[in-house]
Amino acid sequence: MKKKKISFELSVFESFDELSEDRQKLMLAAIEARKNAYAPYSNFYVGAAVLLENDEVVIGNNQENASYPSGLCAERVAIFQAGAKYPGVVIKSVAISASSKKNTLSEPAAPCGNCRQAISEYEVRQASAIELLLMGETGEVLKCSSISDILPLSFNSSYL
Ligand code: THU
């Protein structure tokens, strides 16, 4: 038996201001989208903005439902909309911003497992990395250079 270690590196930006101009623009789109989240049950608001290779930006936000599991996370609303509107266009980056009614979120919220899996499908399909930028309402921004970094050993179409 041998052991294998899987690790990854994150880039940590002290604040939004440290991001490049184009990534600031993308994060601003996520922040704007977050403000239109429909989250009356959790009071937890998430906005996502997807940057495509053709420079289009597609946004999404969480959409909750009285029947809780019928709702959908911001990341999937955004990435499915990108897939629906621009099929086959490479996705470069996804910016995500979260906030809560309870308190000011000064740390990023990481995407849930289902959203990681959904984003991973697009990364595998396009065979190029999808970057993630994660932010709360204020504070640090984390950058993962590939969704596979935060979904190691993922299930994908190669198994089928
Ligand atoms: N949520 C997202 O939109 N993205 C995530 O990655 C985590 C959770 C939403 C779902 C639900 O509307 C609320 O946040 C609380 O879970």
Distance (Å) from CA 4 to ligand 1 centroid? 32
Q: Is 16 helix (H, G, I), strand (E, B) or coil?
A: helix
pLDDT in tens, 75-84: 999 999 999 9
In this prediction the pTM is: 0.97
Pocket test for ligand 1, best of 42, 65, 68 (most atoms within 8 A of CB): 42
User: Is 75 labeled as catalytic in the residue annotation?
Assistant: yes
Instruction: Please tell me the predicted confidence (pLDDT) of residue 107.
Output: 96
- In our burial notation (b when 16+ CB lie closer than 10 A, e otherwise), range 133-151 reads bbbbbeebbbbbebbbbbb
Instruction: Please tell me the predicted confidence (pLDDT) of residue 112.
Output: 98
Rounded to an integer, what distance in angstroms lies between the CA atom of residue 91 and that of residue 96? 14
Residue nearest to atom 2 of ligand 1 (CA): 73
Architecture of domain 11-127+139-148: 3-Layer(aba) Sandwich (3.40)
- Spans of all domains in the chain: 11-127+139-148
Instruction: Please tell me the predicted confidence (pLDDT) of residue 105.
Output: 97
Residues of the chain scoring pLDDT < 50: none
Distance (Å) from CA 129 to ligand 1 centroid? 23
Q: Which residues line ligand 1 (CB under 6 A)?
A: 39, 42, 44, 46, 62, 64, 71, 73-75, 111-112, 115
pLDDT in tens, 99-117: 999 999 999 999 999 999 9
Which of the following is catalytic: 64, 75, 123, 131? 75
Q: Which amino acid is at 33?
A: A
